[in-house]
Amino acid sequence: MTLVAHLNPATRGFESAAAWLIATNRANSVNITAHRTKIGRIRLVDEVQGIERTIRLNPNLPPLLSLGRRTNNLVEKMALGMSYPNGDRSHWSPIITELGNPKTSLETLMPTQQSRRIEFIAEILRGLIFDASEHIAAYQICETVHIDELGHAHLPVNVGRHLAFFLFRRGALVVTFDDGKAAIGVKLSKEAQELGLDGRDFEGLPNHWHREEWTVIYGSNKAPKPYDEAGITAEELQVVVRDNLARFHTQLEEEE
């Protein structure tokens, strides 16, 4: 099926609207023309079957917001900042306005040719959609992860460590991770740091690991290291972290 989106160039933010249709695969190509296309409307034409339908944009809303309100797709709504990973409604993101009316640094990056501008915006939207999909999947996985009485949780291998905040939001003080290919380590929540926990003070971890107040890590995506040189397994790491947490909680109780 070949769908062509026809937009009138006088439609406010028509480039971002066209980019959204391309990024979400609602159209295969776009045609910017005033011929038979009214301002504020999008004609979607199936050129093979000769079927046509019209999408009306709300003239009082940015086009991306108008299109986003028409979908029940959680990934798409989150990509536009209109929803949280759990499905709760949120205030729409400024990115909607920025892509509809590029200014400052974004405008300087925009190609001058119209078709290339639309594809450029579509690529940004694809990135937002990908990130939203990753966040929603991680949220759902992390909702089932056990957080023990010490405040420790282990991040599932299929969740990026940058998404450990889903566990922190649920009350985890410290998260251990092992992505199975590039990095193994520990991340501390802001709450843990405010309580006085410091990754640099952790006992029992290999000395050659990189240490910061908020993390202790061996390897990374940019600089992966062989696991057989880590000096500790993921299972041993969790035991060490729980031991450190137990001592930390005892110390807090004694100070009280």
Residue 208: what pLDDT? 92
Distance in angstroms (rounded) separating the CA atoms of residues 27 and 201: 55
Query: Amino acid identity, residue 56?
Result: R
Distance in angstroms (rounded) separating the CA atoms of residues 27 and 7: 12
Pairing of strands 184-188, 210-211: unpaired
Residue 1: what pLDDT? 64
Distance in angstroms (rounded) separating the CA atoms of residues 19 and 25: 10
Contact present, 199 and 213 (Cβ < 8 Å): yes
Indicate the pTM of the whole model. Answer: 0.85
Distance in angstroms (rounded) separating the CA atoms of residues 133 and 78: 8
Query: Amino acid identity, residue 95?
Result: I
* Token pair in block for residue 210: 């990189």
Q: Output phi, psi for 230, to 5 deg.
A: -70, -30
pLDDT truncated to tens, each residue of the chain (256 aa)?
689 999 999 999 999 999 999 999 999 999 999 999 999 999 999 988 889 999 999 999 999 999 999 999 999 999 999 999 999 998 878 888 888 888 878 888 889 999 999 999 999 999 999 999 999 999 999 999 999 999 999 999 889 889 999 999 999 999 999 987 778 999 999 999 999 999 999 999 999 999 999 999 998 877 777 777 889 999 999 999 999 999 999 988 887 6
